[in-house]
Amino acid sequence: MKLSQLSETLIGSEIVKLGGEIREKIRQGERIYNFTVGDFDPSIFPIPKELEDAIVEAYRKHFTNYPAAEGNLDLREAIHSFVKDEEGLDYGTTEILVASGGRPLIYATYRAICDKGEKVIYAVPSWNNNHYTHFVDGEHVVIEAKSENNFMPTADEMKPFIKEATLISLCSPQNPTGTTFRKKQLEDICDLVLEENARRSQDEKKIYLMYDQMYWHLTFGKIEHYNPVSLRPAIRDYTIFIDAISKVFAATGVRVGWSMGPAGIISKMKAILTHIGAWAPMAEQKAVAYYLTRRNDIRNFLTHFKKELEERLTKIYKGFMSLKEQGLPVNAFAPEAAIYLPIKIDLVGKKTSEGKKLETQSDVTAYILNEAKLAVVPFYAFGSSRSSAWYRLSIGTCKKEQINEMILKLGEALRKLS
């Protein structure tokens, strides 16, 4: 069967493959500590009660027809007010596009800006930029972000490629690392983009910045979230934001997201999504429009939600530090944001008690799953080098009482190696 070049060349997902292995083990009765899912267990992290009630009420009021292609006006007005108050960004209703979560908006951004063969700069590890670049038949310019830079790309790393690029894709807080841009890091990238666009003639396509800030409310301690437009207002003409309720309200399945950007680009993205039909459902739009006006309810929800997330991440981080202090080959970053903890399990070259050598990081991933019953996603599933010893640990389905047990089990598995 002959199919399209795109379908024949799509890259399989390492995450889906790992997920299949985990489900099979669970089906066979194994107890697995599953920290792979970038999602929430609703029994642990339910969506806000006020939002849930508003969704049910919207269906009872029969809001079941097509929404406006760009998103209902009342929702775009609510987003405008919410973002202006919470982040200081002032985007009008013609500069906001609503869709069924962030994914269609990311796809539409790539489609609206990039032509075949044009360079797209993105860092790894990162979520799905390799696939979106493939969708538009773009040329991948991959920056292997370093742990010493919080796994975030730097302007110096991008500079050699900037003159021929069309799009830079950034995310902060970052999936899969849960780390964030420091102010100077992001300012330098903004300055690089502005300098390059000033160099280009009026006839040349400018370079654009896609800024995914899906997790921006979920920062911990003294960590601050920064965005390009607040730091450098002149970059507004070249920036497209990606945002949603998916993570901030533990509402991944509710499917309401939005982009903000220059009206001309937003209009083109709307035209693309109109043909795809990737609208957020009418009832959910009505409910979110209502909920975004409930600022006290939102603050109360976030206070509790962030406390629960940070408590889990911190407990796991301390557990890994304890293992490290015992001389075991692990490491981790202190929690910064989101629902992820970057952890390092450096076992390549070690031998199991049966004398089998762990030759590759894939062997390590299999070993910790089979021996420690710990399921985490390797950074190589997010585009990093296959030799990377770093993993994404996600706590969206984590029960606090499992953490000590998981750390103990991992320590036992690590001590069996020689």
Give the pLDDT confidence of 328-363 residue by residue, as tens digits: 999 999 999 999 999 999 999 999 999 999 999 999
Q: Which CATH architecture has domain 5-45+299-415?
A: Alpha-Beta Complex (3.90)
Q: What topology does CATH give the domain 49-298? A: Aspartate Aminotransferase; domain 2 (3.40.640)
User: Which amino acid does the sequence have at 246?
Assistant: S
Residue-range domain boundaries for the chain: 5-45+299-415, 49-298
Contacts of 98 (CB under 8 A, 6+ apart): 67, 70, 71, 72, 75, 76, 79, 256, 257, 258, 279, 280, 285
Instruction: Find out whether 123 and 145 touch, Cβ atoms under 8 Å.
Output: yes
Taking the C-alpha atoms of residue 376 and residue 36, their distance in angstroms, rounded to an integer, is 5
**pTM exceeding 0.75:** yes
- The per-residue pLDDT for range 201-257, each reduced to its tens digit, is 999 999 999 999 999 999 999 999 999 999 999 999 999 999 999 999 999 999 999
Nearest to 366 by CA among 322, 406, 317, 413: 413
Instruction: Confirm whether 5-45+299-415 and 49-298 share one CATH topology.
Output: no
pLDDT of residue 318: 98
Q: What string of pLDDT tens digits covers the 418 residues of the chain?
A: 789 999 888 877 777 777 788 888 888 998 999 999 899 999 999 999 999 999 999 999 999 999 999 999 999 999 999 999 999 999 999 999 999 999 999 999 999 999 999 999 999 999 999 999 999 999 999 999 999 999 999 999 999 999 999 999 999 999 999 999 999 999 999 999 999 999 999 999 999 999 999 999 999 999 999 999 999 999 999 999 999 999 999 999 999 999 999 999 999 999 999 999 999 999 999 999 999 999 999 999 999 999 999 999 999 999 999 999 999 999 999 999 999 999 999 999 999 999 999 999 999 999 999 999 999 999 999 999 999 999 999 999 999 999 999 999 999 999 999 9
pLDDT of residue 23: 83
